[in-house]
Chain A
Amino acid sequence: MAIIIKFIGKSIWGKKLRTFLILFSICLSTALLFSSLGISQNIAQVYLKQIRSQIGEAEIVIYANKESPSRYFRTNQAEIYRDQLDYIIGTISKAGVYQVAANEQTMVNLLGYKLEELQRMNPLVIQQQYSLNPFQGNKIIINRVTADKYQLQVGDNLDLKINDQLHRFTIAAIAAPEGLLTPGTTGFSAVVPREALATMIGEKGRVSEIYIKTSNPADIEPVLTSLSQQYSRYEVEKTITESELREYTDVIRMPFMMMLILVCLISIFVIYTAFKVIIMERMPVMGTFRSVGATRAITNRILLAESTIYGVIGGILGCALGIGILYLMTYSLSSNPWNEAPPDVQLTYNPVYLGISLAGAIILSVFSSLIPVMKVYRTPLRDIILNTYDNQGGRQKNKTIPALIILALILAIPPLLPGQTAGILSIGGLIIGTLAIVWLIPPVTEIFVRIYEKIIPYLFGNEGILAIKNIRNNREMLNNITLLTIGLASLLLINTISFSVGRLVSDVYKDLKFDIWVYHPQVDRSLESQIRSVPGVVSSLGLYEINQVEIAGSTEKIGTVYGIDGNRMLDYLDFRLQGDAEQILQQYSSVRSIIPTTFLKEKLNLNIGDMLTLKTETGEKDYRVVGFAGTIINNGNTVLIPAKYVKSDWQQRYFTYLWVKSDADPADVSQSIKDKYLRDNVFTITKTELQETNNQSNNQLFVLLQGFSLITMLIGIFGVFNNFVVSVLTRKRSLAVFRSIGMSQRQMVKVLLVEAMAGGLIAGVTGSLVGGFFLVQAGYSMFAMNLPIEIIYSPPLFMEAVVAGAIIAVLASLGPSRQTARLEIVKELKYE
């Protein structure tokens, strides 16, 4: 036994490249498994942290909405629950203006707090101070970035205009640019004493938000209920809700799962091929062991022990790498560009995940090696001892028909099922479908060989004919094609999805026809007409927006209801009405109607003429479906309802916002609107700014995903290269035969390269097919996630995949073919 173990150790250590490849693929698969298990928790953590940086540990928030009698209110009704609460913190916020120079002013977001309360809820990191305590009167705290920008120091005066009145503040402290004072895109934030600010704006004793934390988390629900009654005309909400969190994490987790599956498929293949070679190498020795009395079980156990060793080592490395990846992701998501100090990232993960990942690694390794091992198991003793074990095996059973049936089912069933189920099934479909496609590769190759037979002889002469003959019935070549197929398909999947998402994002902005988005808590006709008088403003459209509207008799919710005027809406946003837009709009304006998106049409199974019943402020209301819109705004989870019905059904007094068109530079016009209504809390953003902020938040995610796809691709290409080396090496003997009967070295290189190219082209085509299949499945699961990304099948990309298949294959066989061309003929012929 000791001799056997020594033998294994030697072989693991002796073939360093192969060992590295096996460990690398196991390690990567494990790392991905671990990070996709742990990612939700950590992403949620980052998200929570972002929220906490604003509001600390507060659980409940109370604020005014459009129906409230005033923006400002008292804390006393909440005070009665004081003994159940850890804290009740009132804050008041107000915009001010800082006149930087004669022709330059900037908005200041003033946050009124009692300092000791703020330090309790969400401490500022004070870097410099000047008679900060007691925090009363005209004291102000700004962040270091603002201080540097305007060259302000502690003790300096800062004059701010609030409600058109000038107030002189003294800079009492400079704090780190984080938490509450994280720099934003416009203006800057500053903390001032609460009472002082309230007095300045004539709201003494009142606040604009109340933050509450209970002493016992079990009290959250009852406190929330009682407070809702106390503040019946205000919003009383949890600061963070479960569904928000889930939505946020799902978007990130799903792509990881997909990639995990792909990486696992590739790994299985790499390990499988590696083990086949290991076994072939061992055959003579195993035969010797067997002939001197080792039982079949012992020799198999040796092989399985070896794969377990790989699993354990690769798994441990993978867990370490996984922790690293998680850390990196969490780090990059939580980094604050204004803060020099690295973000303090706490990685949380369930130790069970480590166990699962390690087990996954071992299963992956053992499972992948099992197939070749089983084959040895079935090989007769005589063949093992005489070393006549034949790698080519018998003729494969023809699985074309079952494979086609499986594929047809996988493609046909999900559209018949409700979105959620289809999404979950599509993951399984991905795996089973890939298997079915692997079964289809031999018949597809056969078809290609038939075509090649007609073409290749003219291009490459007799070497071409030989190359085609070598592709046929060649298990190694089929393996190469399969691996390359999966690799290319993954490449296509990842590229197409990032391309489609990119396109989606830019498309949304292409559909926007307005230039500036103007928000104000109370947009009415008079404000609208005032804004229209701002130079550069051509026209405006006021609209209502109601979020998370329940559908009667369904658990689904509509993300956004737009109350929008039918006559003018297409001038402001191309909603992509399906069919005759004029006719649809005519009906839209004449009845209590609704235009859902095509996404909702599929999700809710709607048809023109159907009635959709929504829960409104005034009870359940029926709306007639008059058409569908292809827009992907709000991820397509949107309906349009004529403005007048939204106004009455949801009892809206004010428009939610205005869309403004301008004939001047939107940035300038936006600034003029801001300047004019600074004290009214008008918020404006241009289309370009909107796009930039969106791109920024998408970018972080994309960089991460792209990093991962790169690794996936790397291991795929690495696997393909390895497989080509292996396939040439296992054919050494046949190649030596060719040499012995007069094949020159040049001819051999030519044959091998033509073979690789022809095989690569096949893989390119099958890879494109599989890629297309993957994409359909990906489409289903994204649909289920409420992300109806229109997958853009770009023909050039698919063409590139076909060419890439041939190029990768040729590159991969360049080295081994030149190496084998120089093989020692006699040695290969005499000894196996």
Chain B
Amino acid sequence: MEDIISASEVYKSFYLGDVKIEVLKDINLSITRGEFVSLMGPSGSGKSTLLYLLGGLDKPDSGTIKVKGRELSAMSDKEASRFRRQEMGFIFQFYNLVPNLNIEDNIMLPVLLDGQPIKKYRQKLDDVLAVVGLSARKRHTPRELSGGEQQRVAIARALMNDPEIILADEPVGNLDSKTGTDVMELFKHINEEAKKTILQVTHSEELAQYSHRIIRLRDGKVWE
């Protein structure tokens, strides 16, 4: 099977004043199409940082990252944006919904940004809302929802454009264990039925069991 995501010799560091913090040191990994992978590691080990790099939200200091055979850092802003809209769904640790847009609008954002006529996506919207169980909350604003509900909106948004890859940063970190396992079941379902590739960051060995494979990060390096 071909690699849908691959990273080789990726380095990333941050400067805090004059102090250089080397977060990622020589990362090499590959994920094949249709895989469900969990990324684990202690807090501060660089999991989120790596996920952002793989999603093209940030650029590595050196090394190459390829998604669907294309090198991310070589893309123009326009291409990279299109890529994020169409090929990837992002779910963040802190939901990141737009506060002044209602649930429906938040979920529709990727479609809007893609220049698609929203009318054609009404049905799709109802489908994803049903999947995350929020059909009744369409018109509410994010602030009127609980943390777990907001996270489910974020998941719905990530599914809206039918991306091939879903990148999730602790998608159930703020949810109770019942809802957490529900979301994991949902992921498993999406992975198996819709053949999506999923990379999730998690702290829980139990939730990691839903995935096919675990990549462990420690001291900025991959330990498999």
Query: Hey, which bits of chain A sit against chain B, CB under 8 A?
Result: 390, 392, 461-462, 465-466, 469-470, 472-474, 733-734, 736-747, 824-826, 829-830
Contacts and interface: CB of A to CB of B under 8 A. Distances in A.
B57 A466 contact: no
A742 B78 contact: no
A745 B78 CA distance: 7
B109 interface: yes
A390 B143 contact: yes
B157 interface: yes
A6 B51 CA distance: 39
Contacts of B31: none
A190 B58 CA distance: 87
B52 A826 contact: yes
A687 to B, nearest CB: 63
Q: Is the contact region of chain B dominated by helix, strand, or loop, or is it mixed? A: helix
Interface in B15-55: 48-49, 52, 55
Contact of A744 (B52, B82, B110): B82
B101 interface: yes
Q: Which has the most chain B C-beta neighbours within 10 Å: A733, A738, A829?
A: A829
Given A462-B116, A465-B112, A826-B52, A741 B100 contact: no
Contacts of A740: 55, 57, 84, 90, 92, 96
Interface of B: 48-49, 52, 55, 57-58, 77-78, 80-86, 90, 92, 94, 96-101, 105, 109-110, 112-116, 118, 141, 143, 157
A379 to B, nearest CB: 14
Q: Which has the most chain B C-beta neighbours within 10 Å: A733, A744, A825?
A: A744
Contacts, number: 88
Contacts of B97: 737
A353 B73 CA distance: 65
A469 B78 contact: no
A472 B57 CA distance: 28
Given A742-B113, A745-B77, A737 B100 contact: no
Given A741-B110, A825-B58, A469 B101 contact: yes
A461 B113 contact: no
Contact of A826 (B57, B83, B101, B116): B57
Contacts of B85: 741-742
15 contacts: A465-B118, A466-B109, A474-B100, A737-B98, A740-B57, A741-B110, A742-B82, A742-B113, A742-B114, A744-B82, A745-B78, A747-B81, A826-B49, A826-B58, A829-B96
A462 B84 CA distance: 17
A744 B76 CA distance: 10
Contacts of A743: 81, 113
Given A737-B98, A738-B109, A741-B84, A461 B77 contact: no
B76 to A, nearest CB: 9
Given A738-B109, A744-B78, A830-B48, A462 B115 contact: yes
A390 B97 CA distance: 13
Contacts of B157: 741
Contact of B84 (A733, A742, A829, A830): A742
Contacts of A466: 109, 112-113
Given A392-B100, A741-B85, 10 more contacts: A390-B143, A465-B118, A469-B100, A737-B97, A742-B83, A744-B80, A744-B81, A745-B77, A826-B52, A829-B96
B96 A737 contact: yes
Given A740-B57, A740-B90, A741-B84, A390 B113 contact: no
B113 A469 contact: no
A286 to B, nearest CB: 21
B70 to A, nearest CB: 15
Contacts of B82: 742, 744
Q: Which has the most chain A C-beta neighbours within 10 Å: B80, B84, B99, B113?
A: B113
Nearest to B55: A740
Contacts of B58: 824-826
Nearest to A827: B58
Contacts of B57: 739-740, 825-826, 829
B184 to A, nearest CB: 23
B166 to A, nearest CB: 12
Contacts of B78: 744-746
9 pairs of A and B residues whose beta carbons are closest in the complex: A742-B85, A744-B81, A742-B84, A462-B112, A826-B58, A737-B96, A734-B98, A473-B100, A825-B57
B112 to A, nearest CB: 5
Contacts of B114: 462, 742
Contacts of A461: 115
A383 to B, nearest CB: 12
Given A390-B99, A734-B99, A826-B52, A741 B113 contact: yes
B62 to A, nearest CB: 18
Nearest to B141: A473
